[in-house]
Amino acid sequence: MKGLVISSLLLPLALAGVVPRAEEKVDYSGFKVLRVALPESTEDIEAQIEELAAHVLNPGKSAHLDVVVSPENIDAVTALAAESSVVNEDVGAALAEEGEFKAYAVPSESWFTAYHSYADHTLFLRDLQAGFTGQSELVTAGSSVQGRVINGIHIWGSGGKGSKPAVLIHGTVHAREWITTMTTEYFAWQLLTKYSSDATIRALVDKFDYYIMPVVNPDGFVYTQTNDRLWRKNRQTLSSNSCVGRDINRNWPYKWEVPGGASTNPCSETYKGQAAGDAPENRGLVAQVNALRDARGIRLYLDVHSYGQYILWPYGYDCSLRPDNDAKLRSLATSAASAIRAVSGTGYTIGPACSTLYATTGDSTDYTDVPGNATYSYTYELRDTGTYGFSLPANQIQPTVRETWAGVVSMLQGA
């Protein structure tokens, strides 16, 4: 998505209508999701299609591009593509199926039947913690570009606070992946509310210290609620370019400099930033990872994304390199995928990130695996496989959080 505050008169015609003026929300009525196959030599055509698109939904290197296109640019994109098909006829209508936000009420299972405002997510965490003061506390991991604190909850069991290896979980790295906020909150909710009644959960809480951060990109998340539902990156500006945002999952300071797995173009969905770790959000998250490493170590790191239904492990930056414990990483992922399938039939693809999906540099799990020395690091890509994409309908929240929790429980048991 391109610059925000500049006058729409200055914009190329192709972008008019997809760039909101300040405080104006993008209306996606009539926009389509097109799946385009690129012709043989693609660099230039791909750049032109990305210029014409409001958003790229799968901004890595894959066989096809899924792009959100305004009604006036559909013909131009179709003409550039070798082949194209319509994946979604009306993005505005699909977004409407997400359902309304519900008025805030204290944490209960019904929280997981609707999406919520950022302010309410903050209240949820606060109120959840307030119900379990003996075994949890609120934690922070630095703050965002716009000064929002990155909030989380630390949960421990019978060994006492900080006595066990860490399980660290990040959600909503990419602002538009709303199901990941709900899912990571559900993990915290399950650990705390089931501790006294469910022996399986109690054993898991007693085994690790959990650090769950449901929204690590708060500025981007707020922006998806005020201006553009399909925003991905943080909200960092540059003096040299009007495009906004760094991709937090391309900014981690490990193998950041390796070419090919991120973009150096500030307008790209995968813009890596000007220097390794130069996004404030990354600075806070790096400090958190390093501190947990230096304390009791990190046993399991999960970076929760959507969509695609994948469980991926390092490495992102190199498609042939494997961690020493690749076989164990695969076996935990296999058992998580079968646990998910057993709950709902939802099928997951598992594998090393680069060779299974696409290359990424400066991504979270490469950082946690090597500098962070985490025993197991995974990226989850939750539902679905593209029908609704980032705007999963509200009636899929509970099925998604429940199946994912089953997968995570099986990982925790084996970890």
Which of 271, 358 has the CB closer to ligand 0X9?
358
Longest dimension (CA), the chain: 63
Q: How far is the CB of 289 from Zn ion (least distance, A)?
A: 18
Which of 122, 282 has the CB closer to ligand 0X9?
282
Contact 266, 238 (CB under 8 A): yes
Q: Which of residues 173-212 bind Zn ion (CB under 5 A)?
A: 174
Nearest-angstrom CA–CA distance, 61 and 74: 22
Q: How far is the CB of 110 from ligand 0X9 (least distance, A)?
A: 27
Q: Is 397 in the site for ligand 0X9 (CB under 6 A)?
A: no
Q: Is 312 in the site for ligand 0X9 (CB under 6 A)?
A: yes
- Candidate segments 4-12, 70-78, 184-192, 352-360, binder of ligand 0X9 by CB under 6 A: 352-360
Q: Is 246 in the site for ligand 0X9 (CB under 6 A)?
A: no
Residues 251-290: x where in contact with ligand 0X9 by CB under 6 A, - otherwise, as a string:
----------------------------------------
Q: Is 68 in the site for ligand 0X9 (CB under 6 A)?
A: no
CA 135 to each of CA 89, 265, 270: distance values in angstroms, whole numbers, following the listed order? 48, 45, 38
Q: How far is the CB of 314 from ligand 0X9 (least distance, A)?
A: 9
Which of 174, 207, 229, 299 contacts ligand 0X9 by CB under 6 A? 174
Residue with smallest beta-carbon separation from ligand 0X9: 316
- Confirm whether 257 is a catalytic residue: no
Name 260's Cβ contacts closer than 8 Å, sequence gap at least 6. Answer: 359, 361
Q: What is the per-residue DSSP string for 152-214?
A: EEEE--TT-TT-S-EEEEEE-SSTT-HHHHHHHHHHHHHHHHSTTT-HHHHHHHHH-EEEEES
CA 228 to centroid of chain Cα atoms: 16
- Candidate segments 190-198, 200-208, 334-342, 355-363, binder of ligand 0X9 by CB under 6 A: 355-363
Contact 401, 306 (CB under 8 A): no
From 98, 177, 185, 381, active-site residue? 381
Burial of 193 (0-12, 13-18, 19+ CB in 10 A): middle
Nearest-angstrom CA–CA distance, 294 and 241: 38
Residue 55: contacted member of ligand 0X9, Zn ion, none (CB under 5 to 8 Å, by partner type): none
Among 287, 274, 285, 253, smallest CA distance to 361 is for: 253
Q: How far is the CB of 232 from Zn ion (least distance, A)?
A: 7
Residues that bind ligand 0X9 (CB under 6 A): 60, 174, 177, 249, 305, 312, 316, 353-354, 357-360, 363, 379, 381
- Active site residue ranges: 381
